């Protein structure tokens, strides 16, 4: 008897992108999410402190916001989670919002600083 479940699982495994390709896709998607108060994406703004991508498509994001009293602090992590869940190859997303260390302008990329006229 043919095992359709096993066949399906094998096909899915073959279609999964490798870790570096998946990480590149996730970073690309993070660059489409903008801080609600600053017209720069959250990745270049330096709000993403850590990105862990596992080959099986599990993604852990450790991020912060520009200020603890940010008006979207309650909803923004869910927005990031839902957006990253749309990336092909991502199966599960966990977003942890942290406040330590506090965000500072030094975390911004040069591109973000240039965009904001800080260079």
Q: Determine the average pLDDT of the residues in 82-106.
A: 95
Is 51 strand, coil or helix? strand
What's the whole-number average pLDDT of the chain? 88
- What is the Cα 41 distance to its own chain's centre? 11
Q: 72 near 59, Cβ under 8 Å?
A: no
The answer, yes or no, to whether residue 61 has pLDDT greater than 90, is yes
- Supply the angle between the helices 19-30 and 76-84 in degrees, to the nearest 10: 140
Q: What is the model's pLDDT at position 18?
A: 86
* pLDDT tier for residue 72 given thresholds of 50, 70 and 90: confident
- What is the Cα 36 distance to its own chain's centre? 16
Q: Determine the average pLDDT of the residues in 37-59.
A: 94
- Per-residue tokens: 106: 């030094």
Q: What are phi and psi of 95, to 5 degrees?
A: -115, 120
* pLDDT tier for residue 96 given thresholds of 50, 70 and 90: very high
The answer, yes or no, to whether residue 40 has pLDDT greater than 60, is yes
The answer, yes or no, to whether residue 12 has pLDDT greater than 60, is no
């Amino acid at each position: 008897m043919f095992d359709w479940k096993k066949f399906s699982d094998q096909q899915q495994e073959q279609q999964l992108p490798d870790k570096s390709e998946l990480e590149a896709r996730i970073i690309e998607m993070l660059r489409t999410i903008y801080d609600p108060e600053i017209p720069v994406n959250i990745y270049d703004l330096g709000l993403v402190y850590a990105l862990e991508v596992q080959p099986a498509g599990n993604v852990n994001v450790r991020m912060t916001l520009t200020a603890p009293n940010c008006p979207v602090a309650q909803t923004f992590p869910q927005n990031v989670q839902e957006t990253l869940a749309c990336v092909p190859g991502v199966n599960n997303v966990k977003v942890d919002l942290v406040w330590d260390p506090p965000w500072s302008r030094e975390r911004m990329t040069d591109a973000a600083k240039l965009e904001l006229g800080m260079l």
